[in-house]
Amino acid sequence: MKQDIRKLALTELMAYVIEVGDKAFRGKQIWQWLWEKSAHSFEEMSNLSLALRVQLTKDFEFRPITIHTHQKSNDGTIKLAFSLYDQELIEGVLIPADDRMTACVSSQVGCSLTCKFCATGYMDRKRNLDPAEIYDQVVAIDQQAQAHFKTPLTNIVFMGMGEPLLNYKNVIQGIERITAPDGLNISPKRITVSTAGIAKMINKLADDRVKFNLALSLHAANDTKRNQIMPINETNTLEVLKEALIYFYQKTKNQITFEYIVFNNFNDSLEDAQELWQFSKNIPVKINIIEYNPIAEANYQNTEEDKLERFATFLRSKKLIVNVRRSRGKDIDAACGQLANKL
């Protein structure tokens, strides 16, 4: 099998073109085609000689993602199933709104964390995505935004399939290509990485001084309840997570968001809101209260509207920033927690 051209660093590309008898700056031109212009073939690289393009074709290949299926929700949300070079499938979502155009991207094929309320958690984790596959999702979803809404992407959230911090190196490299001036040049402040709570890797994010935003899928500020719905909490308890989040904020001063799905008669009482408030005292945070989107594999239900309102009102009375996120794309299984390759 030929080598994937996009696995090479710029220095490796420059060394390669010298080795085949061309000038080093050609490596920079190839790099520009790969990461600024998002080329998926050597034929597109029109400022390279025919001889160099033929040589590249002999030595390398592209492994681009391709759109397998395309669904559009009644509310404008677009879900894309992407086929990978090894025939695995992942999903990404375009979420249009009046003030933003958001791409929700995946980081793994499947997931290993088995969160009880999430459809992806009932899938096996097949493999990690590589940086180019992460980058390609953003390019493809941006093309959908431009085609359907005449507007480019404004935001990117790593809230699709998989746990980003269990694919740390590739996610960081993918974000580097998305944010780099010689890449897509999207501001890291427009990117949010969501984690179920891998404390060791949150500490690593802090040490690496990342510029993007961090979101914690919290869903309960009580270890007993969180253990029931998120087995990862058994080894990454709330106390351990609290220390990691404090460390992250001290090192980066980056915004942290708590994501909190309100399940009926499980985590939607005023006592639950009080526990969330106490946990939120540790660092400056904003809280996204998220409607639950039922899945066939689980028996959880979304809370009732009056309880949701009471929950949010209590938190706001404690001077917390609270947003209630309404479901988007539920009719095409594109909403939060529903991605499971249902094509």
In angstroms, the first-to-last Cα distance of the chain is 30
The Cα–Cα gap between 57 and 51 comes to: 10
DSSP state letters, 78-126: EEEEEE-TTS-EEEEEEEE-SS-EEEE--SEES-SS--TT-SGGGSPP-
**Chain-centre distance for alpha carbon 110:** 13
The Cα–Cα gap between 35 and 47 comes to: 15
7, 115, 302 from 133: Cα distances, Å: 11, 24, 33
DSSP state letters, 50-86: HHHHHHHHHHEE----EEEEEEE-TTS-EEEEEE-TT
| Catalytic-labelled residue, pool 91, 133, 259, 291 | 91
Q: Is 118 a catalytic residue?
A: no
For residue 278, the surrounding DSSP H or E stretch is helix 270-280
Q: Is 91 a catalytic residue?
A: yes
For residue 209, the surrounding DSSP H or E stretch is none
Q: Are 236 and 199 in contact (CB under 8 A)?
A: yes
The Cα–Cα gap between 202 and 283 comes to: 14
Instruction: Specify the DSSP class assigned to residue 214.
Output: E
Amino acid at 64: P
| Catalytic-labelled residue, pool 104, 115, 118, 336 | 336
Q: Are 75 and 16 in contact (CB under 8 A)?
A: no
Residues marked as catalytic: 91, 336
